[in-house]
């Protein structure tokens, strides 16, 4: 199940779309983004970076949250052997450096893209420069020969080009955590519907999740919004079952004509 969503800074019209494909082959995102022009924030899978090479106008950006993972795993392993070694480990220093970047970035969320970019260039870029200089020096010094820490350093260095993209555009998020949050409801619940074992079932799931998660992303009450769709969609059908697409705009999650109950706060 592939998930595609709008950047988290585009708050007025959030879109979350699920797409079922049989494989993780790079042709699937290539086909999906064939008419897209802009930045695509992903993890470090090579499938995504091939899109940038094959589709003109697409820029790949990497996720800093993913850059932390090997270092976090390394600390867990170190802690099992000797808790006192954690503080002075390379993995711990890597996480502290990345945390400092995140600390500054976290204070910029409510700024405009222009202001966010100014602060990123002035305050975050020097930290990013220092991080990569330090990571490369760790490799040069040869203090690590194997393990998760070395994997993490190599990952960051290999993905440097993509990890720096957010420094050049204030609308680009530092990570793809929004997508991770969007896919989580599906991954948590999938064992509950193992009986849906057909392609059409998977495609139907993708459609339902797209509607529900897009409604949630736009702060709608999902129950009342879906109720409204099920009430109004039949009115747009002709005798052959075709939908009048001209009437669909009024049903979109950001439509000003939605009933007020669709905007009631969701139960927590």
CA 254 to chain centre: 21
- Compute the distance between CA of residue 29 and CA of residue 200 in angstroms, rounded to an integer: 20
Residue that the structure tokens 């999740």 belong to:
209
Q: What is the DSSP string of 158-221?
A: HTHHHHTGGGG-TTS-SS-HHHHHHHHHHHHHGGGGTT--SHHHHHHHHHHHHHHHHHHHTT--
pTM summary value = 0.85
Higher pLDDT, 195 or 131: 131
Q: What percent of the chain has pLDDT over 70?
A: 97
- Compute the distance between CA of residue 10 and CA of residue 172 in angstroms, rounded to an integer: 10
Res. 192: pLDDT tops 80: no
**Tens digits of residue pLDDT in 193-241:** 666 678 888 898 899 999 999 999 999 999 999 999 999 999 988 888 8
Phi-psi region of 163 (alpha: psi -120 to 50; beta: other; left: phi over 0): alpha
Q: Do 43 and 66 form a contact (C-beta atoms < 8 A)?
A: yes
Domains of the chain: which residue ranges?
A: 1-63+176-218, 65-160, 220-268
Q: Is 143 helix (H, G, I), strand (E, B) or coil?
A: coil
For 40-45, the CB contacts below 8 A with 24+ separation are 41/7, 41/172, 41/173, 41/175, 41/176, 41/179, 42/176, 43/176, 44/155, 44/158, 44/159, 44/162
CA angle 49–187–96, rounded 5-degree value: 60
**Tens digits of residue pLDDT in 33-87:** 999 999 999 887 777 888 888 889 999 999 999 999 999 999 888 777 777 778 8
Res. 182: pLDDT tops 80: yes
Helices (H), the chain: 27-32, 46-54, 64-67, 69-81, 90-106, 113-119, 125-141, 148-158, 160-163, 177-189, 199-217, 222-232
* Structure confidence at residue 83 (pLDDT): 72
Q: Do 20 and 202 form a contact (C-beta atoms < 8 A)?
A: yes
């Amino acid at each position: 199940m592939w998930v595609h969503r709008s950047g988290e800074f585009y708050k007025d019209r959030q879109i979350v779309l699920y797409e079922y494909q049989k494989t993780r082959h790079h042709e699937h995102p290539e086909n999906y983004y064939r008419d897209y022009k802009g930045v695509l924030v992903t993890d470090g899978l090579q499938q995504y970076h091939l899109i940038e090479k094959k589709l003109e106008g697409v820029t790949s950006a990497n996720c800093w949250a993913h850059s932390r993972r090997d270092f976090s795993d390394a600390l867990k392993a170190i802690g099992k052997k000797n808790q006192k070694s954690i503080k002075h480990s390379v993995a711990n220093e890597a996480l502290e450096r990345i945390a400092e970047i995140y600390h500054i970035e976290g204070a910029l969320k409510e700024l405009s893209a222009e202001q966010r970019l100014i602060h990123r260039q002035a305050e975050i870029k020097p930290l990013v420069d220092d991080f990569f200089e330090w990571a490369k020096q760790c490799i040069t010094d040869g203090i690590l020969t194997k393990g998760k820490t070395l994997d993490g350093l190599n990952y960051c260095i290999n993905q440097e080009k993509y990890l720096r993209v957010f420094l050049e555009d204030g609308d680009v998020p530092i990570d793809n955590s929004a997508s991770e949050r969007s896919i989580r409801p599906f991954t948590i619940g999938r064992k509950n519907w193992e009986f849906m074992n057909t392609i059409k079932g998977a495609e139907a799931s993708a459609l339902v999740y797209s509607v529900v998660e897009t409604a949630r992303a736009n702060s709608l009450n999902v129950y009342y919004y879906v109720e409204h769709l099920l009430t109004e969609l039949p009115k747009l059908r002709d005798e052959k079952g075709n939908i009048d697409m001209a009437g669909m705009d009024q049903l979109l999650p950001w439509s000003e004509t939605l009933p007020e109950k669709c905007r009631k706060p969701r139960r927590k």
